[in-house]
Amino acid sequence: KNQVEQSPQSLIILEGKNCTLQCNYTVSPFSNLRWYKQDTGRGPVSLTIMTFSENTKSNGRYTATLDADTKQSSLHITASQLSDSASYICVVILQTGANNLFFGTGTRLTVIP
Amino acid sequence: NAGVMQNPRHLVRRRGQEARLRCSPMKGHSHVYWYRQLPEEGLKFMVYLQKENIIDESGMPKERFSAEFPKEGPSILRIQQVVRGDSAAYFCASSPSGTNEKLFFGSGTQLSVL
């Protein structure tokens, strides 16, 4: 069982629509959680970083939420654009250790015109 | 300020050959991390290096794989006697100091073993 689980695995939406991606994690002790966007054939690019005390953080049309009690996070994309088509990866970082990043397998988002 | 540079972007090797993957971190970054990504899977940690030192190689197979980050030049991930199962995307990331800093990823090297 993955320690960072994302859902849905893939999602297709119409341009202009909103969508929400989910991330549940079991790893601890938690330090922070990040959402990355990975375009096909490229490396991941950071969208948001959330610490234990933060419930919500926005970056343009991206809004991430975090509930550290239930160990859940979501990424909400508003007014989707074709360029939003990518994989969105949830990464949980623990407080200690060099190998302290746990990656989800990502949600593959496709925005169609 | 160039980002993390990886080369080659694509590398094709026959079984038994050696693969060398290079990573130049962002300017001013002394911490380098290598990850492997298989299709439909998340990135898996392989090794964490600082200049001239391997800090954590717990994610790297004990045989055939090695990594270095010399005082001068890029970090190198070396895979000897490649097998088909080594086919994957290999990503390098760098940070100025430690994993709690925002990581910057390269575009990866896609290794294909025939």
Radius of gyration of chain B (CA): 13
- Cα distances from B21 to residues A24, B78, B114, in angstroms, run 33, 6, 17
Residues of chain A above pLDDT 90, percent:
67
Which residues of chain B does A99 touch, with a Cβ-Cβ cutoff of 8 Å? 45, 48, 56, 58-59
Query: Count of CB atoms within 10 A of residue B97's CB?
Result: 11
Beta strand segments in chain A, E: 4-7, 10-14, 19-25, 30-38, 45-51, 56-59, 62-67, 72-77, 86-94, 101-103, 107-112
- Cα distances from B91 to residues A7, A23, A104, B9, in angstroms, run 23, 22, 15, 10
Q: Is the peptide bond before B25 cis (omega within 30 degrees of 0)?
A: no
Residue B7, pLDDT > 70, answer: yes
Report the residue from B40, B59, B99 with minimal CB separation from A105: B40
Distance CA B35, CA B31 (A): 13
Taking only the tens place, the pLDDT of each residue in B54-74 is 998 988 999 999 999 998 899
pLDDT of residue A41: 84
Q: Which of B46, B48, B3 minimizes the C-alpha distance to B24?
A: B3
Lowest mean pLDDT among A38-42, B6-10, B17-21: A38-42
Mean residue pLDDT of chain B comes to: 91
pLDDT, average across residues B85-106: 86
- The Cα angle at residue B85 between residues B41 and B43, in degrees rounded to 5: 25
Residue A103 and residue B42: Cβ atoms within 8 Å?
Answer: yes
**Nearest-CA residue of chain B relative to A4?**
B42
Taking only the tens place, the pLDDT of each residue in A90-108 is 999 888 766 778 889 899 9
Q: Does B110 touch chain A (CB under 8 A)?
A: yes
pLDDT, average across residues B76-98: 93
Residues of chain B above pLDDT 90, percent:
72
pLDDT, average across residues B35-63: 89
Q: How confident is the model at residue A1 (pLDDT cuts 50, 70, 90)?
A: low
Cβ(B106)–Cβ(B91) below 8 Å: yes
Which residues of chain B does A45 touch, with a Cβ-Cβ cutoff of 8 Å? 105
Distance CA B90, CA A4 (A): 20
Q: How confident is the model at residue A54 (pLDDT cuts 50, 70, 90)?
A: confident
pLDDT, average across residues B35-39: 90
Distance CA A92, CA A35 (A): 9
Q: How confident is the model at residue B97 (pLDDT cuts 50, 70, 90)?
A: confident
- B83's enclosing H/E stretch is none
Report the residue from A89, A99, A105 with minimal CB separation from B59: A99
Q: Residue A60: which region, alpha, beta or left (left: phi > 0; alpha: psi -120 to 50)?
A: left
